[in-house]
Chain A
Amino acid sequence: ELKVEQNPLFLSMQEGKNYTIYCNYSTTSDRLYWYRQDPGKSLESLFVLLSNGAVKQEGRLMASLDTKARLSTLHITAAVHDLSATYFCAVGGGGSQGNLIFGKGTKLSVKP
Chain B
Amino acid sequence: DTAVSQTPKYLVTQMGNDKSIKCEQNLGHDTMYWYKQDSKKFLKIMFSYNNKELIINETVPNRFSPKSPDKAHLNLHINSLELGDSAVYFCASSQDWRNQPQHFGDGTRLSIL
Residues of A within 8 A of B (CB): 31, 33, 35, 37, 41-45, 48, 50, 86, 88, 90, 92, 96-102, 104-105, 107
Q: A43-B90, A104-B40 are in contact. Are A98 and B99 (CB under 8 A)?
A: no
Main secondary structure of the interface of A (DSSP, over half): strand
Residues of A within 8 A of B94 (CB): 98
Chain B residues within CB distance 8 Å of chain A: 31, 33, 40-45, 48, 50, 55-56, 90, 92, 94, 97-107
Structural contact, A97 and B102, CB atoms closer than 8 A: no
Asked whether A99 lies within 8 Å of B56 as measured between CB atoms, the reply is yes
State whether A43 touches B97 (Cβ < 8 A): no
Chain A nearest CB: distance from B96 CB in Å?
Answer: 9
Chain B residues with CB under 8 Å of A44's CB are: 104
Instruction: Please measure, in the bound complex, the distance between the C-alpha atom of A88 and the C-alpha atom of B43, giving whole angstroms.
Output: 9
Tell me if A98 and B106 are in contact (CB < 8 A).
Answer: no
| A/B interface sample: 26 pairs, CB < 8 A | A35-B101, A41-B106, A41-B107, A43-B43, A43-B90, A43-B92, A43-B104, A45-B101, A45-B103, A48-B100, A86-B41, A90-B43, A96-B48, A96-B55, A97-B55, A98-B31, A98-B50, A99-B45, A99-B48, A100-B45, A101-B45, A102-B42, A102-B44, A104-B40, A104-B41, A104-B42
Q: Which residue of B48, B56, B97, B106 contacts A42 across the interface (Cβ within 8 Å)?
A: B106
Give the distance in Å from the alpha carbon of A31 to the alpha carbon of B55 in the complex.
Answer: 18
How far does the Cβ of A30 sit from chain B's closest Cβ, in whole Å?
A: 9
* Contact, CB under 8 Å: B41 / A42: no
In the complex, residue of chain A having the shortest beta-carbon distance to the beta carbon of B101: A45
CB-nearest residue of chain A to B57 = A96
